[in-house]
Structure 1
Amino acid sequence: MAQMLALVILLGILYIGDVVATKTKAWIPSVFVCAVLFLLGYWTFFPKNIVEIAGIPAIVATMMMYLLITNMGTLLSLKELRNQWKTIVIALSGILGIIVILFTIGALIFDMQTMIVAIPPLVGGLVSALIMSEGAANAGYDDLAVFAIVIYVIQGFAGYPLTSIFLKKEGNRLLKLYRSGEMKAQEITVEEEEELEKPRLFKKLPDRYNTDYFKFFRLAIVGCLAYFTSTALAPIITVNALVLCLLFGVIATSLGFLEKQPLQKANGFGFAIMALMLFIFDGLKNATPEMMLRIITPLIVSIGLAVIGMYIFSFIVGKILKVNPNMAFAVSLTALYGFPADYIITNEVVNAVTTDKKEREFLSSHMLPPMLVGGFITVTIVSVVLAGLFVTWIK
């Protein structure tokens, strides 16, 4: 397949996803539509490496991830990050719900080995799925090795629409409070407004020198620092470099090294999201129809039980912490997909709920930070820890 034809097909799929999400006012998220179309494509005429043919090999996607996650960190402040402790507790409670339900009801329906392999991919991303798949293969469980990968690939089909539904409920609730005057938007001071345009350390830099390349350069420096810090800490403690990108992005913004959303200001955000989403959907190439038929029952039951466990535990903890159940469940659901789907779905919902710019800013300020933090806690941190522990239990 020619490169430009591959690119046209893939961009067409992304656009169809956007159209459906817009038409249905985010009741059907774009990521769900795209995932279905990619799956159908791989089952029919897509070459397995269509994303790479189009120009997005893994190394490019990794670069985009470093830039995007550092950019996401600029949306949060240190104060706001401290304020997200409830989000962290709720995200952890959702994971606990998955573990409890699958180790009790799930183990009774199937067996303990299946549930051990299922849990880390259910609360995580590609890394945890690969760890469990390799562990199962080494122990002689070939079907479970495939099962771990397919759970990672398919779980978003449950997470995408559910998140959209519950975020819409939360968005409408917040909007009602905002319009009635019970909740107010955060006031931005003149100093903060200036820093949105140019970071504190570069206030005196003439605009003609604050070019797009300079914004990319500073983002790359922060991402590079996160990478080398992760490498330096490796002998003592394993800390994912991408987690540090988020944290370093927050710190760099607080110190005045980065402005808010530099990737958008450098006109690179849309391209970066496009590249990363194509790479995420590339994971569907391994889910063949035969594979799906072989493991469809434990797959559906495991994901269903996981969602029930997340809902029960996040509902209870949300009530205790006085967090609306809709928001609490949406945060726990980030375990099923993580970044960048959490960012995309939240933005789609905000845009679907209102067309007013100030109302959208209000909703984003209340819904986006917990969704981002929840996704990083579940997918990037906890899932890898669980995979490292659970893989030793496969016998």
Structure 2
Amino acid sequence: MSLTELLKQWKAVVIALAGVAGTITLTVLVGSLFFNTKSVLAAIPPLTGGLVSATLMVSGLKAQGLTAYLALPVTMFVTHSIFGYPLTSALLKSEGRRLLKGFDKETAENPDLVKNNTATAAKPKKQLIPEAYNTSAFIITKVAAVAVLAQLFNTWTNSFVNVNVVYLIFGVIAHQVGFLDDKALEKAGVSNWLMYGLIAFVFSQLSVVTPNGILSILLEIVVLIALGMLGMFIVSFVLAKPFGMSWQMAFACALTALFGFPADYIMTSEVAHTVASNKEEENFLLNHMMPKMLVGGFATVSVASVIIASYFIKLI
């Protein structure tokens, strides 16, 4: 995801991040009235950053010896999808049907809306490394080199900033200057493998939790999910009209914090295919909804989640 695309879809970015802020505000303020504050803080990050936050929270809790709280982020990560996916799908379907009412008028004014612009390859950026050397092994080596530099910088600054935030900053810089490719891990063919590894790592932490232990926190998890989604809805509803979106689209953008890519891409594609009656309508819907969903997921799961999880770990 380039900075140019983020700036182009800045309204979706603001709504998604504001939705995360609404989630944190409501869950912390209200949730802490009913449940242990530390358990609330341990459970919230996966609600605002999906797998990335869950992984960071599990690692952070283990590093601090807070194994009693390990089940919270894992259970939150598993449970919120039960509510998040159907709700997001329903919102996108509602938005799709709303958009199709103006299909004839909008396509008459802008015929490009019926073209598959989401699949059009962006103009490649100038790379520092010749394409001939960009094998899978070399791409992975470049990613590793950036990670090593970030780690060295973090050590040199005596961990003034959380190391995960440093990784993020170095990755963005390396991508912008052309050292790292777009979707580097996907291009190297290891993205899915790493994703499965992260999921396996997160679920493996449940080995220290009994079934009764999970049942004992299930009510807290469900209540926090309800509060979190309510916070997202309130903020999205308030910002939708000023930002020129329907409340359905705004709320769907905010909900990308629950899962991010590739779920946001898959869900939007499936909804567009289901709601549309032909390929032109499908492309029309994708051109309207896909960019907002992708940047929303990137801003929350890929960026904000790292900062939020890193900060919440310090509060527990």
TM-score range, shorter chain: 0.7 to 0.9
2:33 is the alignment partner of 1:108: yes
Q: Indicate the residue corresponding to 2:297 in structure 1.
A: 375
Please tell me whether residue 361 in structure 1 is matched to residue 283 in structure 2. yes
Amino acid at match of 1:169: S
Report what 1:232 is aligned to.
Answer: 149
RMSD: 4.2
User: What does residue 269 of structure 2 align with?
Assistant: 347
The alpha carbon displacement at 1:111 in A equals 2.6
User: For residue 313 of structure 1, what is the aligned residue in structure 2?
Assistant: 235
Deviation of 1:166 after TM superposition, in Å, equals: 0.6
What corresponds to 1:129 in structure 2? Answer: 54
Cα deviation, residue 217, structure 1: 3.8
Return the TM-score normalized by structure 2: 0.74
Alignment of 1:98-247 (within 5 A): 98-133=23-58, 136=61, 142-181=67-106, 184-186=110-112, 196=121, 217=134, 225=142, 228-229=145-146, 231-233=148-150, 234-235=153-154, 239=165
Q: Secondary structure at the match of 1:123?
A: helix
Deviations 1:85-142 (A, max 9, x none): 1112111111111111112211112132222112222212444334434555677754
The answer for the alignment partner of 2:308 in structure 1 is 386
Secondary structure of residue in 1 paired with 2:54 = helix
Q: For structure 2, list consecutive stretches of 5 or more residues without a partner in the other structure.
A: none
SS in 1 for 2:49: coil
Deviations 1:153-209 (A, max 9, x none): 3222221111111111112222222233376353799xx9xx8499698xxxxxxxx
Partner of 1:322: 244
Offset of 1:145 from its aligned partner?
2.1
Structure 1 residues 140 and 284, CA, compared in 2 at 3 Å: closer, same or farther? closer
Contact residue 101 and residue 306 of structure 1 kept, 8 A: yes
Where 1:320 maps in the other structure, the secondary structure is coil
Taking the aligned partners of 2:289 and 2:35, their CA distance within structure 1 comes to: 37
Residues 114 and 284 of structure 2 are in contact (CA less than 8 Å); yes or no, is this contact kept in structure 1? no
**Equivalent in the alignment of 1:54:** none
Instruction: Measure the CA separation in 2 of the matches of 1:98 and 1:327.
Output: 17
Aligned twin of 1:34: none
Q: Which letter maps to 1:310?
A: M
Q: AA paired with 1:122?
A: L
Per the TM alignment, residue 225 of structure 1 is displaced from its structure 2 partner at its CA by 4.7
Preserved contact between residue 91 and residue 374 of structure 1 (Cα < 8 Å): yes
Cα displacement (A) at 1:332: 0.8
Mapped to 1, the partners of 2:280 and 2:169 lie a distance apart of 30
Aligned counterparts, 1:87-102, within 5 A: 87-102=12-27
Alignment CA distance shift 1:110-1:262 (3 Å): closer
Letter in 2 for 1:167: L
**TM-score computed with the length of structure 1 as normaliser:** 0.61
Greater length-normalized contact order (CA 8 Å, ≥ 6 residues apart)? 2
Question: How many Å separate the matches in 2 of 1:164 and 1:125?
Answer: 17
Distance 1:373 1:158, change over 3 A: same
Q: Displacement, 1:232?
A: 3.1
- Determine if contact 2:49/2:259 at 8 Å carries over to the other structure: yes
Distance, in Å, in 1 between the alignment partners of 2:211 and 2:89 is 27
Mapping of residues 17-96 of structure 1, within 5 Å: 73=1, 79-96=4-21
Letter in 2 for 1:232: L
Residue 332 of structure 1: aligned partner:
254
**Partner amino acid, structure 2, of 1:160:** Y
Check the 8 A contact 2:51/2:199 in 1, yes or no: no
Aligned-pair distance for 1:373?
1.4
SS at match of 2:261: coil
Aligned to 1:61: none
What is the aligned-residue identity percentage? Answer: 36
Q: Which amino acid aligns with 1:389?
A: Y
Q: Tell me the distance in 1 between the aligned counterparts of 2:36 and 2:242.
A: 33
* Residue matched to 1:301: 223
Gaps of 5+ in 1: 1-72, 202-209
1:185–1:83 Cα change, 3 Å: farther
CA distance in 2, matches of 1:361, 1:276: 31
Comparing 144-153 with 297-306, which one deviates more in the overlay?
144-153
